[in-house]
Amino acid sequence: MLGVVVFREVGSSTVRRPCCALYNKDDPPHWPVQVTFERYSVAAQPKPRNCAQDLLTWYDRHRRVMPWRALPGKSPAPYAVWLSEIMLQQTTVAAVKPYFMKFMARWPTVADLAAAATDDVMAAWAGLGYYARARNLHRCAQMTVSQFAGRFPGTEQELLSLPGIGPYTAAAIAAIAFDQRCVVVDGNVERVMARLHAVSEPLPRAKKKLHALAASLTPQDRSGDYAQAVMDLGATICTPKSPNCAQCPWAKFCAARKQGIAADLPRKSPKQKTITRHGVVFWALDSKKRVLLVRRPPKGLLGGMLAFPTTLWRPKKWTPSEACKAQPLKSKWTPLPGVVSHTFTHFHLELEVWVGRAVSTAKASLADATWAAVESVVNLGLPNLMQKVARHVGVQARPQAKSRVRRA
């Protein structure tokens, strides 16, 4: 019986290294063996200095132009960097740009934002989603004014003490706004590192490894530009699908490219099935054709936002008798056909819409209830979900006018 010895030839080198030797354990090892060879390629090992220099050279020519990004030779504005980083959490650049411009025009400094009314900030944020960010944004501006004299702190540790700023955001602000050597790792950076080093371990398990790899390449000089360069590389070249390896400044270092698996990385653990929750939303009208709104609790989804009253959102559908117990006022309710569908990060929501009319002397049973003219609700800065409810009822957007709102 023949044994098998497998050799691998590394690149163009003449050194052949045995990777395994297999023979029948019952046969003596001096029996003849069959020798085969496999050829595979190895990428040049990434060297921190070379990687950083090559990437920064590419970045100087191809950097994206963004309203919050300082022009070459100009110093970054910490307020603009902070505002953009908060807005960009879980949100695309295209979606953020108009909101960033609107905020900067209305509140050009952190002191201006700190002095703004919370309702105005929440209304200006409406449509951008993840509304806890807006509440923390306002609190952070106020704390920056009260505790740091209106100047953002320049270290990660101090930035982490401010509301709404976690490890990634603190590192990004410190690097981009203050050129501190910080390891900035977002989804783009994770993808680039996974491909550069051919990390096959799936996310999120590989996060610590990818962070360590990113740290090993982060330079001491031009750290802010480097952080933005890696993110730009991931956003424009090393994209999730069909990476443009031919244009990549790190192609010669990329292990995944050499192995032909770049498009397959990073691997991700199987997603859990998205659950669906159900609820009933009440469209309550008074005799003056005003609709009832309530202020949602400050914590939780849509926290602190104006909204139409709803039941709790739960996996089980509501029966009519159950939903009536949650009604904001006594009325004869008529369910509208269809449902309003909306997807949050961790679940899908389906709302039935019930329409009812209050008697003229009726008072809403909910705290912080507000009546607003029906035609004005689309201009009140309602969250996307509630705008969908208004459209489901049939309210269409009209030219914005100053809305009049009255307490119940």
Residue 364's contacts (CB-CB under 8 Å, 6 or more residues apart) are 284, 292, 294, 309, 328, 329, 358, 408
Class of the domain covering 48-264: mainly alpha
Which segments of the chain belong to CATH 1.10.340.30?
A: 48-264
- Rounded distance between C-alpha atoms, residue 141 and residue 86, angstroms: 12
Mean pLDDT of 154-158: 95
- Predicted confidence (pLDDT) at residue 355 exceeds the cutoff of 90: yes
Residue 188 near residue 234 (C-beta atoms within 8 A): yes
Structure tokens at 283: 């469209």
Whether 85 sits among the annotated catalytic residues: the reply is: yes
- Predicted confidence (pLDDT) at residue 147 exceeds the cutoff of 80: yes
Beta strands in 2-93 (DSSP E): 3-10, 16-22, 33-40
Task: With CA atoms as reference, report the closest residue to 110 among 143, 133, 134.
Answer: 143
pLDDT digits (tens, 9 = 90+) for 66-83: 999 999 989 999 999 999
Question: What letter would DSSP give residue 346?
Answer: S
Q: pLDDT band for position 123 (50/70/90)?
A: confident
pTM to 2 decimal places: 0.74
The residue that leads in pLDDT, 301 or 93, is 93
- Predicted confidence (pLDDT) at residue 19 exceeds the cutoff of 70: no
Sign of torsion, CA 227 137 121 152?
A: negative
What is the predicted pLDDT for the residue at 378?
A: 81
What is the predicted pLDDT for the residue at 367?
A: 63
What is the predicted pLDDT for the residue at 46?
A: 63
Asked: is 275-407 a CATH 3.40.50.300 domain? The reply is no
What is the predicted pLDDT for the residue at 224?
A: 96
> Counting Cβ atoms within 10 Å, is residue 198 exposed (0-12), middle (13-18) or buried (19+)?
middle
- Predicted confidence (pLDDT) at residue 24 exceeds the cutoff of 60: no
By mean pLDDT, which of 25-34, 79-88, 99-108, 237-246 is the weakest? 25-34
Mean pLDDT of 18-34: 45
Structure tokens at 95: 């979606």
Mean pLDDT of 117-146: 92
Residues 9, 38, 85, 158: which is the catalytic one? 85
Which segments of the chain belong to CATH 3.90.79.10?
A: 275-407
- Predicted confidence (pLDDT) at residue 166 exceeds the cutoff of 90: yes
What is the predicted pLDDT for the residue at 203?
A: 94
Task: With CA atoms as reference, report the closest residue to 369 among 307, 315, 303.
Answer: 307
Rounded to a whole number of angstroms, the distance between the first and last alpha carbons of the chain is 92
Sign of torsion, CA 164 168 170 176?
A: negative
Give the whole-number percent of the chain exceeding pLDDT 70: 83
What is the predicted pLDDT for the residue at 232?
A: 97
Alpha carbons within 13 angstroms on the beta-carbon side of residue 279 total: 22
pLDDT digits (tens, 9 = 90+) for 289-299: 899 999 888 88
What is the predicted pLDDT for the residue at 97?
A: 97
What is the predicted pLDDT for the residue at 82?
A: 98
What is the predicted pLDDT for the residue at 362?
A: 55
Angle between helices 132-148 and 118-125 (to 10 degrees): 130
